[in-house]
Chains A and B, each alone.
Chain A
Amino acid sequence: MTRRPKFARRHLLRGLGGVVLGLPALDIFEGRVHAAEPTQRKIYSALILQQNGLVQGPHTGGGVVTDVVPNAPVETDMFWPRAMGVLSAATMTGADADRATSELSDYASKLIFLRGTSFKYSHLHGGGAVAASTGAPVTGTYPRELPVSESIDFYIAENAAGGQEPLTLYAGRKGEFRDDSLSFGKGGALRVGDNNPWTVYQRMTGLAGAMQGDPELVKKIAQQRLSVNDLVRGELKDFLARTDLSADDRRRIELHLSSVRDMEMNMSTVLEPLLDVPGMQAINGSHTTDANIEKAALMQVDLIAFAFASDRARTATLQVGSCNDHTRYTINGMLAPPYHPISHRNNSDGQAGSLISNSVTLHHEIDRIHARYFKRLLDRLAAYTLPQGGSLLDSSVNIWTNSLDDGPTHGSTNVPYILGGGAGGFLKTGLHLASPGASHRVLTTVASAAGCRKPNGDLIDNFGDPTAPSLISEIIA
């Protein structure tokens, strides 16, 4: 039976200046860890999803894209660098400073910009997010389509991270049209994201801070939980032993059983300066107000980096906004109209409202806000250095994408994929490329970068869409 090294994760944070608090080993858990530690370098992966498209002008991504629809207002590209090819920090902050992606210039050499990706099986607000993270065929009817298979975060967790639970997060309001639609477990089971940084933090650390400082108390609580968990596991196993259980019920009970965790998962924690814990507590309960959504999104990004740094998760998703995000951002000190009507360029959730005269500028500024969410992730991951050298950013591959391509057409033939991090040298970074083809190609490449392999050791080539195996070879080092 594999024995997990005790508290190896604390070494991750050496040299950061953070305070590290390790708790004593609890012998009662020895031998209870099912997942073996992979021997290869750990690769972390986060996916952040924006809604409502971008301001990227007419479709110029190349390859399989649609023409600009007749009568659509002409918009210029305000998102991408002007030149294809090698990304340059100097150009991004110089000639391309007016583009939203200039927010990421600090990381020019660690980025890959892929434009012109399309969604194959599901589209629009109801299905775009599904396609963005799965690339898979779907079942069900719009707008509640579900993929037939798992999303990229769950797939990597299962195939390259020892089954470690993905971190599923959300920022913004729920209850608008369709909410969670980014992370999916086995068989396409929807995973729901927590949108409250405070409860995410509490769940991640497991116990109140005062308790963590008392090893005897921790041991006592761990033993209590163990006894209760053993009883619950017994009940769940009794159900699984039934021969008349339907396949769906069996899958539900198996998921439930795998979700029952002993305190080993939470028994060490890291108190460090890159989390604004008082801030999380301060907006607890008002984390979905327009005034706090930006703050909450940044806190969720910090929590992703924290989870990676403490090895609580290897993969994470952050869906920002419901599928037709109505967040009212404050832009240049003014409260803007809801984001979704801005994306339509008129005061409606469709095509019939009065014109929002500065909607293109507002949408561009919202694109910049989302770029800064992604930059925050890169900043945080870059700040965590690893004992073997390099940073968490270097050992990760992260995605920023969108459920639509642009606002006025709500199309899905020119979807952006921004990758950050080189996955331990697997990816060739610092590039701006056209990436015609469906989203599963990007996702397959990312899964390979994260360490997913075929049984024979070859790179995987068919994540999401088994009918069209493919990798983007241009970005593989």
Chain B
Amino acid sequence: MRLSNSQWEVTIQDLLRLPAALGLSRSFVADPGLGEFDTYGGQLLVDANRWQDYETAAEVVAKQVAHDSGLLATLTPAAADTATRKANFLRDFGLRAFRRPLTVADVARYSALFDKGASLIGSGDAFVDGVELALRAFLQSPNFLYRLETSANVVGGRVPLSDYEIASRLSYGLTGSMPDDAVFAAAAAQKLHDPADVSVQAERLVSLPSGQATALAFHAQLLHLSDYDQIQKNTANAPAFTAELVPALKQETLAFVQNVVYGQDRGIAEMLSAPYTFANGSIAALYGASPPLPVGAGGDAFVRLELDPTQRAGLLTQIGFLAANAVEQTPSTIPRGVHIAEDVLCVPLPAPPANVPPLPALDPNSTNRERVATLTMNAPCSSCHTSLINPLGFALEPLDGLGQYRTTENGKPIDASGTYNIDGKDVSFNGPVELMKALANSQQVHDCYARHLAEFIYGRDLDPNSGADSLLVSQAGARAKSMPSAKSLMVALATSDVFLNRAP
């Protein structure tokens, strides 16, 4: 699978041991976004535009490194003579670029190219020119751009991956970048094929800053945090909903996830049911915090804010999710329901039909629930909406499009009651808190979370027809429910049989 743009960027930073990313991928053609998560490298191709992007970036990086004495010294430490220094560079940098030791043929190829540097570049420093030319090739090589798994020996119906291949799976799956020195050392010592040994590295990686950032990226994609960018409210009705609020709403969600996963070492059940959030002054005001948190300069830190446990429970009752799935004050009941069905319960939904009739004219005396129910009550809409979508969305009706709690609409009481098939049986609830409690206690939800997390780490859809993938989901889901730590679930997924082997 090809490195995604974000993986390329971080990999370049780590490969060159730079303190910050160079930002060159910002000018790359965007990745297609075809997969559930941006880690789905199998769907990423190299067409002519992208190849040209890689070529240009490789030339920029190579020139920068070759003409920066500090970087050059880091990547090509002094040696007894130039030939040794060159050989060391090709061996050591090549291993880190290809994420495996170079073969004899690799060394011969790159050594020959290195030697052409003096004549092709001609700066007057043959070593520097050789480094520049070799770097250009390393960074355009398929061995760098793809995460290649070439192990082929079938053992017991599966192909055990090499230590270096597992090193790449581990590092990209858990930190979004190339292996660090410790992982490389473990691979070199052949300490990355036994699950217990792999677990040692996995536990370390998930807690690194890059591991935490990767875990947050997973939850951001699972929760469609990018949808928050579409939040647009009429500030005449909702003066707090300024452009500056959107990044703060994202920060609220991420701070909450960070606290649950890393602060408390808990998992999806807590994320769905916690009666608190993390807010700055502006967001706390939206929740009606009393006493208010400070707003503005010096008062914008995100701190834990206790919420009314009869009104809110977890991520899906936070203002960002509610406002993003709404138009002005009116909840978008159907998108809310679809999100929960697909992303939390893993209920597959078919495409909506074409030529959907418009909603009946807005009756000022009706409720949003009544309008949506009327729209979707007849075939073909009813087959999905009545049982698979609407009940989940209706449960959130007490939380309006601005995320505010309400008990009436147009003078009528809010009806947030419903029944949904969860864990194979009909579960009744009334309102967001009861629904979230039911979800948090559900095995189906834990299976779904484990499945999504595995797909993110593995960079592919799990195959419902694969016995190994299905077993993985059921085992990981059971573990997630019995041992509610997202961190330990990540480690378990990164040490699973499916992760350490590939299909023939």
User: Residues on A close to B: CB < 8 A?
Assistant: 66, 69-73, 123-124, 126-127, 141-144, 146, 165, 168, 174-176, 178-180, 185, 189-196, 199, 202-203, 206, 220, 223-225, 227-228, 231-232, 234-236, 239, 242, 244, 248, 252-253, 255-256, 258-261, 326, 338, 341, 344-355, 408-413
Report whether B359 and A352 are in contact in the complex, using a CB–CB cutoff of 8 Å.
yes
Interface size class of B (residues with CB under 8 A): 35 or more
Q: A143-B351, A227-B133 are in contact. Are A260 and B51 (CB under 8 A)?
A: yes
Docked CA distance A224–B357 (Å): 61
Q: Which of B23-31, B258-266, B286-294, B408-416 contacts A (4 or more CB under 8 A)?
A: B23-31
**What 6 A-B pairs come out closest when comparing CB atoms?**
A142-B351, A259-B51, A256-B46, A351-B359, A353-B327, A348-B327
Chain B residue with minimal CB distance to A337? B232
Task: Write out the residue numbers on chain A whose beta carbons fall within 8 Å of the beta carbon of B83.
Answer: none
Docked CA distance A420–B108 (Å): 55
- Closest Cβ of chain B to A310, distance in Å, is 16
Does any Cβ of A come within 8 Å of B84's Cβ? no
- Closest Cβ of chain A to B252, distance in Å, is 20
Tell me which of A72, A228, A355 contacts B357 (CB under 8 A).
Answer: A72
Docked CA distance A352–B137 (Å): 55
- Closest Cβ of chain A to B339, distance in Å, is 13
Report whether B142 and A239 are in contact in the complex, using a CB–CB cutoff of 8 Å.
yes
Among A66, A123, A234, residue most surrounded by chain B Cβ atoms (within 10 Å): A123
- Please provide the chain B residues from 195 to 236 with a CB less than 8 Å away from any CB of chain A in the complex: 226, 229-230, 232
Does any Cβ of A come within 8 Å of B352's Cβ? yes
Tell me which of A175, A248, A351 contacts B229 (CB under 8 A).
Answer: A175
Report whether A192 and B328 are in contact in the complex, using a CB–CB cutoff of 8 Å.
no
Q: Which of B12-20, B87-95, B329-337, B472-480 contacts A (4 or more CB under 8 A)?
A: B329-337
Tell me which of A144, A260, A355 contacts B362 (CB under 8 A).
Answer: A355
Report whether A326 and B29 are in contact in the complex, using a CB–CB cutoff of 8 Å.
no
Report whether A69 and B357 are in contact in the complex, using a CB–CB cutoff of 8 Å.
yes
Chain B residue with minimal CB distance to A199? B27
- Known pairs A220-B121, A352-B333, A352-B359; list 18 more (Cβ under 8 Å): A143-B351, A180-B30, A189-B45, A228-B137, A231-B137, A232-B142, A236-B142, A255-B45, A256-B45, A258-B48, A344-B358, A345-B358, A346-B358, A347-B327, A348-B327, A348-B332, A353-B327, A410-B354
Among A126, A228, A326, residue most surrounded by chain B Cβ atoms (within 10 Å): A228
Q: Which of B243-251, B312-320, B368-376 contacts A (4 or more CB under 8 A)?
A: B368-376
User: Residues on B close to A: CB < 8 A?
Assistant: 2, 27, 29-34, 42-43, 45-53, 55-56, 58, 109-110, 113, 116, 120-122, 133, 136-137, 140-143, 148, 150, 152, 226, 229-230, 232, 327-328, 330, 332-335, 348, 350-352, 354-360, 362, 368, 371-372, 375
Docked CA distance A398–B45 (Å): 27
Task: Write out the residue numbers on chain B whose beta carbons fall within 8 Å of the beta carbon of A261.
Answer: 48, 51-52
Report whether A224 and B360 are in contact in the complex, using a CB–CB cutoff of 8 Å.
no
Docked CA distance A410–B357 (Å): 9
Pairs across A and B, CB under 8 Å, 11 listed: A192-B49, A203-B53, A239-B142, A248-B42, A255-B47, A258-B48, A341-B327, A349-B332, A350-B332, A409-B355, A410-B356
Report whether B47 and A185 are in contact in the complex, using a CB–CB cutoff of 8 Å.
yes
Task: Write out the residue numbers on chain A whose beta carbons fall within 8 Å of the beta carbon of B358.
Answer: 69, 71-73, 344-346, 351, 408
Task: Write out the residue numbers on chain B whose beta carbons fall within 8 Å of the beta carbon of A202.
Answer: 56
Q: A174-B33, A239-B142, A256-B45 are in contact. Are A227 and B120 (CB under 8 A)?
A: yes
Report whether A228 and B47 are in contact in the complex, using a CB–CB cutoff of 8 Å.
no
Task: Write out the residue numbers on chain B whose beta carbons fall within 8 Å of the beta carbon of A66.
Answer: 355
Q: A142-B351, A227-B116, A354-B328 are in contact. Are A409 and B362 (CB under 8 A)?
A: no
Tell me which of B49, B55, B120, B136 contacts A223 (CB under 8 A).
Answer: B120
Tell me which of B42, B56, B109, B372 contacts A234 (CB under 8 A).
Answer: B109
Report whether B334 and A352 are in contact in the complex, using a CB–CB cutoff of 8 Å.
yes
Report whether B45 and A252 are in contact in the complex, using a CB–CB cutoff of 8 Å.
yes
- Closest Cβ of chain A to B102, distance in Å, is 12
Tell me which of A71, A146, A259, A345 contacts B47 (CB under 8 A).
Answer: A259
Docked CA distance A258–B51 (Å): 10
Task: Write out the residue numbers on chain A whose beta carbons fall within 8 Å of the beta carbon of B51.
Answer: 256, 259-261
Q: A168-B49, A189-B45, A255-B47 are in contact. Are A174 and B356 (CB under 8 A)?
A: no
Tell me which of B29, B121, B359 contacts A224 (CB under 8 A).
Answer: B121
Report whether B29 and A193 are in contact in the complex, using a CB–CB cutoff of 8 Å.
yes
Report whether B375 and A352 are in contact in the complex, using a CB–CB cutoff of 8 Å.
yes
Report whether B142 and A194 are in contact in the complex, using a CB–CB cutoff of 8 Å.
no
Docked CA distance A196–B49 (Å): 12
Report whether A190 and B32 are in contact in the complex, using a CB–CB cutoff of 8 Å.
yes
Report whether B328 and A69 are in contact in the complex, using a CB–CB cutoff of 8 Å.
no
Among A70, A235, A347, residue most surrounded by chain B Cβ atoms (within 10 Å): A235
Among B29, B122, B133, B348, residue most surrounded by chain A Cβ atoms (within 10 Å): B29
Task: Write out the residue numbers on chain A whose beta carbons fall within 8 Å of the beta carbon of B334.
Answer: 350, 352
Report whether B52 and A232 are in contact in the complex, using a CB–CB cutoff of 8 Å.
no
Docked CA distance A235–B229 (Å): 42
- Closest Cβ of chain B to A242, distance in Å, is 8
Tell me which of A179, A346, A349, A411 contacts B355 (CB under 8 A).
Answer: A411
Docked CA distance A354–B328 (Å): 9
Report whether A195 and B30 are in contact in the complex, using a CB–CB cutoff of 8 Å.
yes
Report whether B335 and A180 are in contact in the complex, using a CB–CB cutoff of 8 Å.
no
Task: Write out the residue numbers on chain A whose beta carbons fall within 8 Å of the beta carbon of B2.
Answer: 252
